[in-house]
Amino acid sequence: MRRFAVHLWRLWLGGVITAMTVWGVGALYYDGPANELLRSMLAAAFGLGTLGAFVWLLHRRRTLVVFALVWVLLLAWWSTIRPSNARHW
């Protein structure tokens, strides 16, 4: 039973991390730097970096801590964006 709970926990955590990563990639691509190439590269680096870190690194807890710190920085940046109705729709 304990083994099942651990697998269920890992599956849930993987889903949450995947959702956070997809949102982060979208946020960077949608409202990143004005340069489209740089914006695309940042979004790809975030997505591929997260994937690579969780697939190939052996220190899962350390990886979670670093991911959480990067996520907090991403949210801090996102919260500085001022809303505007003067954009091209």
- Where are the domains positioned within the chain? 2-79
d(CA 71, CA 76): 9
Cα atoms in the Cβ-side hemisphere of radius 13 Å centred on 13: 13
Q: Give the pLDDT confidence score for residue 42 in this predicted structure.
A: 94
Q: What is the pLDDT of residues 5-26, one digit of tens each?
A: 988 988 898 899 999 999 999 9
Q: What is the pLDDT of residues 43-86, one digit of tens each?
A: 999 999 998 888 887 677 888 898 999 999 999 999 998 887 87
Q: Give the pLDDT confidence score for residue 63 in this predicted structure.
A: 87
